[in-house]
Structure 1
Amino acid sequence: MYVIVEIAGQQFKVEKDQKIFVHRLSAEEGGQVEFPKVLLVDNDGEIVVGAPTVEGAKVTAKVLSHLRGDKVLVFKKKRRKGYRKLNGHRQDLTQIQIEEIVA
């Protein structure tokens, strides 16, 4: 059984006991979070598509840790003009583990 759920503006395909990285959530480490925006449910080949969400379906997850992602470097240059710009970015992430899927 898997579901497609919207977490912090992004859509993820998740299953029970799966660990995923999402954008930083405001919950503390070790706490529970609930995601009610379930867009699709696949229960052993029986697919239910929401319009826009599936009624009565939700996903419960446990917050494992808060961390920062790898550094992404953005380099801009215009040739023969002496223009060079280097910018770095590290995204704040939260690692969660899916504990329960109610469909």
Structure 2
Amino acid sequence: MVYAIVKAGGRQEKVSVGDIVVVDRVGGEVGDTIELTPILLVDGDKVTNGKDLADVRVSAEIVRPEKGPKITILKFKNKTGYRKRQGHRQKLTRLKVTDIA
């Protein structure tokens, strides 16, 4: 089984060919192919890392953009009438890993 640890959207993800991964928003259109930065490659018993990864490529296809769950932020100060409500939804991208070479 071949899998790789890649850097995607500020985090590290374990991926293999055919996996669907949700990462922070990546620029590009649906169907575009992007390259992910490999950190570690495992091929059976062989582990590759460091400078040996210079020729390793991990390709992924953009499946669709998404939004994360709604997060509500509420600030409140006692006895002053100060209330502040704010919301946030993280912009995400769903990727499908197409090739590890």
* TM-score category, normalised to shorter length: 0.7 to 0.9
TM-score of the superposed pair, with normalisation by structure 2: 0.85
Report deviation, 1:56.
0.6
Does residue 84 of the first structure (1) align with residue 89 of the second (2)?
A: no
Report deviation, 1:81.
4.0
Inter-partner Cα distance in structure 1 for 2:9 and 2:23: 7
Matched residue, 2:35:
34
Runs of 4+ more than 6 Å apart: none
Assess if the C-alpha contact under 8 Å between 1:40 and 1:49 holds in 2: yes
Does residue 22 of the first structure (1) align with residue 23 of the second (2)?
A: yes
Deviates more, 1:53-62 or 1:79-88: 79-88
Please give the root-mean-square deviation of Cα atoms over the aligned residues, in Å.
Answer: 1.7
Aligned residues: 100
Inter-partner Cα distance in structure 2 for 1:88 and 1:45: 47
Q: For structure 2, list consecutive stretches of 5 or more residues without a partner in the other structure.
A: none
Matched residue, 1:10:
11
Q: For structure 1, list consecutive stretches of 5 or more residues without a partner in the other structure.
A: none
Matched residue, 1:46:
46
Inter-partner Cα distance in structure 2 for 1:75 and 1:50: 44
Taking every aligned residue pair, what percent have the same amino acid on both sides?
A: 31
Report which of the two has the higher share of helix: 2
